[in-house]
């Protein structure tokens, strides 16, 4: 047997070992923002029994992440449904003040096929090099920096996690309608602080009736990019929600950081005045 074939066998075997033993993200604790929101519902079982269907969260993907220990706030699946709880119930939906309504944010995040995207399912991945990803045709992936208190991340809170549902869900919207937002992971490769940038398509409040966020007119006057949808959602959590203060504070920080750094024609909107608290 020649050495190349031996090397192939060894490589395949090692790949298998890595695939089967790759550790899940650190699931030993949770952030204050996580717990503050959690304590508002105290682990509402009726909700997660709805959420796993609405988000198509499957036992085969989440079983080692708290799918069968769904009231343990340190684990990933409970954190996932905690973020869903935030976006399902906590927004004020004030048509004269909010950028968009719960109906828009839910349709973006939930699994079912609609005007917002084709059907997808949610799964967690173990990867510190992304917050999340939309993997065509049907995987909405979220990763360690959105869950893990051991990673030095600003985003392991329910607002940022739900914000990523928006971001990845909007990539699915772009895919459904064949929009090309750039070749760097679905973004433009330059023009902002990172190698992954969007345009901000400015629009006023009440320009979209609730439920119409998916609409566009083929021009820059009525369109959204993934980072923009994320910023608008986070702004609505920060300024237009009944979430606990730690969640609103985290949402505002994430929105403003993203607004400052992620747009070619930035900054995008700023959320809230700069009074400290």
Q: Which 39-78 residues touch other proteins, going by CB under 8 A?
A: 39-54, 56-62, 67-72, 77
4 is an interface residue for other proteins by CB under 8 A: no
Select the residue interacting with other proteins from 196, 213, 226, 230 (CB under 8 A). Answer: 196
| Interface with other proteins in residues 222-261 (CB under 8 A) | 223, 235, 238-242, 244-246, 248-250, 253-254, 256-257, 259-261
201 is an interface residue for other proteins by CB under 8 A: yes
Closest by CA to 40, choosing from 147, 162, 158, 161, is 158
Tokens representing 58 are 């499957």
Select the residue interacting with other proteins from 7, 28, 97, 209 (CB under 8 A). Answer: 97
Select the residue interacting with other proteins from 27, 91, 116, 131 (CB under 8 A). Answer: 131
| Interface with other proteins in residues 137-156 (CB under 8 A) | 137-139, 145, 149, 151-156
C-beta of 210 vs 223, nearer to other proteins: 223
Select the residue interacting with other proteins from 24, 74, 103, 185 (CB under 8 A). Answer: 185
Binding residues for other proteins, rule CB under 8 A, total 133
Q: What SS3 state is found at 171? A: helix
Sequence-distant (6+) residues with CB within 8 A of 19 are none
Cα-based distances in Å from 266 to 197, 198, 199: 10, 9, 8
Question: How many other C-beta atoms can be found within 10 angstroms of the C-beta atom of residue 6?
Answer: 10
209 is an interface residue for other proteins by CB under 8 A: no
How many Cα atoms are found within 13 Å in the side-chain-facing hemisphere of 169?
A: 30
195 is an interface residue for other proteins by CB under 8 A: yes
Q: How far is the CB of 143 from other proteins (least distance, A)?
A: 10
Question: How many other C-beta atoms can be found within 10 angstroms of the C-beta atom of residue 16?
Answer: 10
What's the burial of 135, exposed, middle or buried (CB within 10 Å: 0-12/13-18/19+)?
middle
101 is an interface residue for other proteins by CB under 8 A: no
């Amino acid at each position: 047997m020649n050495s190349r074939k031996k090397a192939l066998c060894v490589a395949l075997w090692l790949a298998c070992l890595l695939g089967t033993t790759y550790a899940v993200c650190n699931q030993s604790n949770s952030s204050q923002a996580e717990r503050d929101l959690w304590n508002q519902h105290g682990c509402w079982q009726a909700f997660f029994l709805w959420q796993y269907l609405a988000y198509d969260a499957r036992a085969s993907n989440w079983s080692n992440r708290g799918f069968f220990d769904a009231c343990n706030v340190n684990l990933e699946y409970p954190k996932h449904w905690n973020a869903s709880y935030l976006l399902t119930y906590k927004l004020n939906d004030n048509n004269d003040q909010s950028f968009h309504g719960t109906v828009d944010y839910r349709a973006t995040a939930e699994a079912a096929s609609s005007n917002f995207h084709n059907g997808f399912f949610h799964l967690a991945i173990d990867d510190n090099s992304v917050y999340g990803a939309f993997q065509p045709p049907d995987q909405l992936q979220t990763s360690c920096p959105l869950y893990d208190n051991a990673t030095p991340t600003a985003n392991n809170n329910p607002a940022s996690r739900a914000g990523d549902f928006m971001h990845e869900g909007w990539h699915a919207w772009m895919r459904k309608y064949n929009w090309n937002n750039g070749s760097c992971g679905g973004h433009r490769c330059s023009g902002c602080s990172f190698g992954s940038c969007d345009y901000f398509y400015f629009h006023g409040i009440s320009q979209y009736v609730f439920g119409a966020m998916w609409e566009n007119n083929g021009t820059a006057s009525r369109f959204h990019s993934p980072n923009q949808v994320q910023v608008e959602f986070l702004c609505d959590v920060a300024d237009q929600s009944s979430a606990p203060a730690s969640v609103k504070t985290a949402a505002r920080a994430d929105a403003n950081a993203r607004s400052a750094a992620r747009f070619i024609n930035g900054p995008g909107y700023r959320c809230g005045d700069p009074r400290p608290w």
